[in-house]
Structure 1
Amino acid sequence: MKILIPFYSTYGHVYKMAEAIAEGVEKVEGVNAELRRIEEAIPEETLKEIGAFEAQKDFAHIPECNLDDLKEADGIIIGTPTRFGNIAGQVQNFLDTTGSLWMEGALIGKVGSVFVSTASQHGGQETTIRNLHTTLLHHGMIIVGLPYSFAGQGTIDEISGGSPYGATTIAGSDGSRMPSENELEGARFQGEHVAKIVAKMTV
């Protein structure tokens, strides 16, 4: 069984969360995680100007996601930064190419899940996830979030992302804050939770 983890990351925050999601997936016997990078649409010169070019070198080795990857997966956990309370344009562009899969019904019945990064605590984490859920539902997917059995999302001891809709991280207004251990643990929990459901469904 295979869980696909397609992600888009500008500065590496979503990539770090994607790695943690994969760690959680692979805790479940017989289920493999497969990371796939969603294609960058920002020109290289602009990436250099905004300080993202060097950061993206950390995950440039990961293959770009294609439609066959989605079709062959037993479950899909998508990661995106937030853009004004919505998903990043790169992710939307990629999803806009999935019309042929919709026509085939290729994703119907597959488990779908989402994780995100925002600059601030109230920067649209939940709206971004819910907006992406809309696309997954149009593909006939079964939505899975991050249940409250992950106790870390109830913490008040620190600023932390995480909601029942999915694992999240807070990058800070200047992008300097990388995912905390609690946020990474939420991502691991979500990955494992999705993998357990996929395993049950494919028995």
Structure 2
Amino acid sequence: MPRILVLYYSSYGHTATLADAIAEGVRGAGADCDIRHVPETAPEAVVRQAGFTGMQKHEEISDPAAMKDYDGIIVGTPTRYGRMSSQMCAFWDQTGSLWQSGALVGKVGAAFTSTASQHGGQETTLFSIITNLLHMGMTIVGLDYGYEGLVGVDEVAGGTPYGPTTVAGGDGSRRPSDTELGGARYLGEKVARIAMKLAA
């Protein structure tokens, strides 16, 4: 049975909520799934002042080398000026030995993100994740248009062909909608099914 890692960073819980939905999709397809967050690298004073509470319900990943034990890795981070957060970037900056050894070559990879606004850099942030996964030799899976939530225009909603997303609102008060969570579950299931086929 394939093992899938949902790896994320979250300041206020939006990407963590998407991570939970992705894991539901993975498990619903019959694969094992672990959810882990990367370490917080912001100074403690900044974390307290900003009220970061987004990663309290999942375990921290202890070492990037742990990724080699998974058949698929789904990476999520909020956007920071149209790219991945510094916390997630710092984690991937420690993966040189995995790249050198080809430890992630052929594994399934995917991405998800959260932005404050509808046009806050969702797609560029996803590509900043996907670039890392491609350099590792991973097989990239996106959120295809088989998920009908991508084509609706009746509500504010995230979601791109490159991965599921959510719109948090400028003050972070908007939580992921049913449509956005549905896209996350869809991606999780799809990654699990592809990992199963590649493992066969």
Which bin holds the TM-score, normalised by the shorter protein?
Answer: over 0.9
Report the TM-score, using the length of structure 1 for normalisation: 0.95
Question: Which residue pairs with 1:25 in the alignment?
Answer: 26
Aligned residues: 199
Question: Which residue pairs with 1:137 in the alignment?
Answer: 134
Identity of aligned residues (%): 50
Q: Identify which of 87, 97, 100 aligns with 1:100.
A: 97
1:28 CA displacement: 1.2
Counterparts of residues 32-51 of structure 1 (less than 5 Å): 32-51=32-51
Measure the CA separation in 2 of the matches of 1:117 and 1:184.
12
1:57 CA displacement: 6.1
TM-aligned CA distance change 1:16 to 1:96, over 3 Å:
same
Gaps of at least 5 residues in structure 2 are: none
Tell me the amino acid that sits aligned with residue 34 of structure 1: D
Q: Identify which of 184, 187, 192 aligns with 1:187.
A: 184
Gaps of at least 5 residues in structure 1 are: none
Q: Is the 8 A contact 1:4 1:69 kept in 2?
A: no
1:69 CA displacement: 2.2
1:49 CA displacement: 1.0
1:68 CA displacement: 3.0
Measure the CA separation in 2 of the matches of 1:18 and 1:57.
11
Q: Is the 8 A contact 2:117 2:170 kept in 1?
A: yes
Report the TM-score, using the length of structure 2 for normalisation: 0.96
Q: Secondary structure at the match of 1:140?
A: coil
Counterparts of residues 110-189 of structure 1 (less than 5 Å): 110-189=107-186
Q: Secondary structure at the match of 2:194?
A: helix
Measure the CA separation in 1 of the matches of 2:7 and 2:196.
19
Tell me the amino acid that sits aligned with residue 113 of structure 2: V
Is 1:4 the counterpart of 2:2? The answer is no
